[in-house]
């Protein structure tokens, strides 16, 4: 039997001052968790973690049995049936409940999480609130970027980030809450002041058994213990269902004229952004604007203002802050090198997003809409023909190409898109090499046309097999435009 020693979470004895899932990132004083279902189960890396300064371990019975004896002699092990279920609460406690010190806004939904969180962060900052943001684009703490890999980081990383936010004086944090995070307990230990639901469409069917399972995961955010108030988009069918089944108080929003607590009215859509008036629950009216085109971005912006308002901030100041804010990297980002047609790089990589993006662009041109599109490997294959069908229905020329094929055969992924696109009416071309596909689209464009390069947005790489090759659509478009413009 190992020596049983006290492990303290309150600063005395062998104190736990942090929590980590990675033996490679141990800071002396950390508790190291080797989670079931991961390579670290059985605390495979426990010896490395202890050598690096871990003072305690967390695992389950099976993990304990498999752990090396000499490690067990050196540090106490916390053994629970489901370590993931305690990890978030534990991390929150160890870091001193930092989330409770800030106004927390959590945003979930299939589309619009990144856009809405970034708009909220920009609007908060413009309104004079020290803001933090966590999501697909990484983390930003009072304006300082911190690289994070997941949309919603694992709980130990998340609470550590919150602790830094608190230290830097962050008053409000807007963060994306993915369905993976809800299922995996990554936001355990956080009670959001406001939980926002944007919409629900087909996504992550490689992780969830079906759309209902996916919806249930999202809906779990709208329960006591996870949030105090829901803010729900009633323009979305699943949003209306959520209003019925949420077990926390709910406020609603609509950007399309439905009855709701928060409304966007007098919407004026323009190619580079839109203006509108936010009507708050008390009937007060606040002029607002969003520097991104499309009706769906009015919904995203309305959600951002309403979330900040419900979190206790002045909606007038937040709405005014939004109007002067910046766009969001990789979201309807224009690339202009003096060419006579428009090029837009957008992160649309799911059916609803492709549809929303193409519907937004169509009225902006009297010319043709050309789209470069692919679909990721090792992810829900069912969405591929749907995306192909949407592209061929809403664009004039579709260039089917590769987009992170990962370990799948890229040609087979393209075939699935092509099968959907065969219904037309657009002209369809297949060009596997993404750079050549972009070149093909740019060379086909005539004055006044719009080229949409869909799928990667802000991403800086193309994953082929296990290797991520540098590839940024925005840079490639710029490089290829040099040839086209100079022709």
Ligand X SMILES: Nc1ncnc2c1ncn2[C@@H]1O[C@H](COP(=O)(O)OP(=O)(O)OP(=O)(O)O)[C@@H](O)[C@H]1O
Q: Which residues are annotated as a binding site for meso-2,6-diaminopimelate?
A: 379, 403-406, 455, 459
Give, to the nearest 10 degrees, the angle between helix 315-323 and helix 113-126: 110
Q: Contact between 300 and ligand X (CB under 6 A)?
A: yes
Q: Which residues, 6 or more positions from 275, have their beta carbon under 8 angstroms from its beta carbon?
A: 266, 267, 268, 287, 288, 289, 323
Q: Which of 20, 23, 129, 151 binds ligand X (CB under 6 A)?
A: 151
Assigned token pair, 173: 């944090």
Q: Pairing state of beta strands 144-146 and 138-141?
A: antiparallel
Q: How far is the CB of 150 from ligand UAG (least distance, A)?
A: 4
Cβ-based nearer residue to ligand X, 193 or 333: 333
Stretch that binds ligand X, among 29-37, 110-118, 282-290, 397-405 (CB under 6 A): 110-118
* Contacting ligand UAG within 175-194 (CB under 6 A): 178, 180-181
Minimum separation from the CB atom of position 31 to ligand UAG (A): 13
262 binds ligand X (CB under 6 A): no
Region near ligand UAG per CB under 6 A, out of 99-107, 123-131, 143-151, 442-450: 143-151
The overall longest dimension of the chain from CA atoms, in Å, is 78
Q: Are strands 250-254 and 262-270 parallel, antiparallel or unpaired?
A: parallel
Q: Which of 353, 360, 356, 443 minimizes the C-alpha distance to 397?
A: 443
Q: How far is the CB of 255 from ligand X (least distance, A)?
A: 9
Nearer to ligand UAG, 180 or 359 (CB): 180
b (16+ CB within 10 A) / e for 381-393: bebbbbbbbbbbb
Rule CB under 6 A: say whether 214 interacts with ligand X.
Answer: no
| Contact predicate 61/54, CB 8 Å | no
Which stretch in 57-65, 125-133, 146-154, 160-168 sits in contact with ligand UAG by CB under 6 A?
Answer: 146-154
Q: Which of ligand UAG, ligand X, none binds 439 (CB below 5-8 Å, type-dependent)?
A: none
Binding mask 14-53 for ligand UAG (x = CB under 6 A): -------xxxx-------------xxx----x--------
Q: Considering the rule CB under 6 A, would residue 139 count as an interface residue with ligand X?
A: no
Q: In terms of CB distance, is 158 or 481 closer to ligand UAG?
A: 158
Q: Tell me the CA distances in angstroms from 477 to 27, 283, 365, 487, one per residue in order.
A: 42, 46, 20, 15
3-state helix, strand, coil in the chain (%, to 5): 35, 25, 40
Angle at CA of residue 155, ends 105 and 50, nearest 5°: 155
Radius of gyration of the chain (CA): 24
- Cβ-based nearer residue to ligand X, 48 or 380: 380
Determine, following the binding rule CB under 6 A, whether residue 113 of this chain makes contact with ligand X. yes
Q: Which residues contact ligand X (rule: CB under 6 A)?
A: 109, 111-115, 136, 151, 176, 198-199, 296, 299-300, 331, 346-348, 352-353, 356-357, 457
């Amino acid at each position: 039997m190992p020596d049983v020693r006290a492990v303290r979470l309150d600063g005395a004895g062998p104190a736990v001052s942090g929590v980590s899932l990675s033996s490679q990132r141990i800071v002396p004083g950390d508790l190291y968790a080797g989670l079931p279902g991961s390579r670290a189960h059985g605390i495979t890396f426990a010896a490395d973690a202890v050598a690096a300064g871990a003072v305690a371990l967390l695992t389950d019975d099976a993990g304990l049995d498999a752990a090396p004896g000499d490690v067990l002699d050196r540090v106490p092990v916390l053994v629970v049936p489901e370590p993931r279920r305690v990890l978030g609460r534990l991390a929150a406690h160890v870091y001193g409940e930092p989330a409770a010190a800030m106004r927390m806004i959590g945003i979930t939904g299939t589309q619009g999480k990144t856009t809405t969180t970034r708009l909220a962060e920009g609007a908060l900052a413009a309104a004079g609130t020290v803001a933090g943001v966590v999501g697909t684009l990484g983390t930003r703490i009072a304006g300082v970027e911190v690289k994070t890999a997941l949309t919603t980081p694992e709980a130990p990383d998340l609470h550590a980030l919150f602790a830094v936010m608190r230290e830097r004086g962050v008053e409000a944090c807007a963060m994306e809450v993915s369905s993976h995070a809800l299922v995996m307990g990554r936001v355990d230990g956080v009670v959001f002041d406001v939980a926002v639901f944007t919409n629900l469409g087909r996504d992550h069917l490689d992780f969830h058994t079906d759309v209902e399972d996916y919806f249930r995961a999202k809906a779990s955010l709208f329960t006591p213990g996870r949030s105090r108030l829901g803010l729900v988009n009633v323009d979305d069918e699943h949003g209306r269902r959520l209003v019925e089944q949420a077990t926390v108080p709910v406020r609603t929003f609509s950007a399309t004229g439905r009855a709701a607590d928060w409304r966007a009215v007098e919407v004026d859509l323009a190619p580079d952004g839109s203006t509108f008036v936010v009507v708050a629950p008390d009937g007060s009216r606040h002029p607002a604007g969003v520097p991104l085109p499309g009706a769906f971005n009015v919904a995203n912006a309305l959600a951002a203002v309403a979330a900040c308002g419900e979190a206790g901030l002045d909606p007038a100041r937040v709405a005014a802050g939004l109007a002067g804010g910046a766009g969001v990297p990789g979201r309807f980002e224009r690339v202009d090198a003096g060419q006579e047609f428009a090029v837009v790089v957008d992160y649309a990589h799911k059916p609803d997003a492709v549809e929303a993006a193409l519907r937004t662009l169509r009225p902006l041109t009297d010319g043709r809409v050309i789209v470069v599109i692919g679909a990721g490997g090792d992810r829900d294959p069912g969405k591929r023909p749907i995306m192909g069908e949407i592209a061929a229905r809403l664009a004039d020329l579709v260039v089917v190409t590769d987009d992170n094929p990962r370990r799948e055969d890229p040609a087979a992924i393209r075939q699935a898109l092509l099968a959907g696109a065969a219904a037309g009416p657009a002209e369809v071309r297949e060009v596997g090499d993404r750079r050549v596909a972009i070149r093909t689209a740019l060379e086909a464009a005539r004055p006044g046309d719009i080229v949409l390069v869909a799928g990667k947005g802000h991403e800086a790489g193309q994953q082929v097999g296990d290797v991520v090759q540098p590839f940024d659509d925005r840079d490639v478009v710029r490089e290829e435009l040099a040839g086209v413009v100079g022709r």
